[in-house]
Amino acid sequence: MKLLDGKKLSEKIKEEVKKDIEKLQKEHGITPGLAVVLVGDDPASHTYVKMKERACKEVGIYSIVHQMPSSISQKEIEETILMMNKNPNIDGILVQLPLPKHIDTTKILELIAPSKDVDGFHPYNFGRLLQGLETFAPCTPLGVMELLKEYEIDVKGLDACVVGASNIVGKPMAALLLNSFATVDICHIYTKDLKSHTKKADLLVVGVGKPGLITEDMVKDGAIVVDIGINRLENGKLVGDVDFENVSKKASYITPVPGGVGPMTIAMLLKNTLKAAYKRIDS
């Protein structure tokens, strides 16, 4: 068994991004800018945003956080996004999810200019992803693909099973794997006999937010296991959706939690923001 070390790779990517930004500043006078919309007092959201702010600072990305109370209106958020769409110094716009229940999340995400959609959630970018065209892909699945590439794991021809069908992770993950010519099986809450799907997978990718969902008997010998889930137990311990201790005995490769996919998500956000900034040169 070999660990897929996302923490190590993310540091390598950050160094590459930092060098590219220095070059961009020197040759074109451009500093990439990322704006984050943070609504409410959700502790996890605040933690994620602070991590993103810190990562931006490390590589030289200008970042600004629009922090708003949970009572804010739909119109006020929309006006903020429209303002950022017009700001030439902002290359990427990220709305930290989840938003309060009274906010129409779909409408908010659709307002972001596709050229600044560094989270890859806009239907335009998602449609291009499904067609295998150049676009912004969501950061978590993109990070998984980068991690597999780093360890020279070619997914072409592999039987892949994605457990979880969210718009943020599961669906784009399946699309990226399909675009790389894996044979993809996607499972969700209504899937009958989950084990029958996971057991035959050469590559198993799990992201549903349920600790210990995938047990040793659900994984075939030598499988590559990517655990996107992150859950905090009552004792404060962070765990994934996979029973790491036992599944790792059967897997050929496996991601740890924490230190696997999580750091890659932020690294891909930095890469997507840099990519958006490069578009300024041609505009």
Q: Which CATH class for the 29-116 domain? A: alpha beta
Q: How many CB atoms lie within 10 A of CB 274?
A: 23
pLDDT over 90 (residue 273): yes
pLDDT over 90 (residue 42): no
> Quick one: what percent of the chain has pLDDT higher than 90?
94
> Quick one: what percent of the chain has pLDDT higher than 70?
100
206 φ/ψ angles, rounded to the nearest 5 degrees:
-125, 130
Domain locations in the chain as residue ranges: 29-116, 139-262
Average pLDDT, the chain: 96
pLDDT class for 149, splitting at 50, 70, 90?
A: very high
Domains 29-116 and 139-262 share a fold: yes
Judged by phi (left if over 0) then psi (alpha if -120 to 50, else beta), residue 114 lies in alpha
If one compares 121 and 283, the residue with the highest pLDDT of the two is 121
Q: Which CATH class for the 139-262 domain? A: alpha beta
* pLDDT-wise least confident of 45-49, 65-69, 176-180, 202-206: 45-49
Q: Which residues are catalytic?
A: 52, 96, 119
Residue pLDDT, tens place only, 175-218: 999 999 999 999 999 999 999 999 999 999 999 999 999 999 99
Residue pLDDT, tens place only, 121-146: 999 999 999 999 999 999 999 999 99
Write the CB contacts of 138 (distance below 8 Å, at least 6 apart in sequence): 119, 120, 121, 168, 169, 172
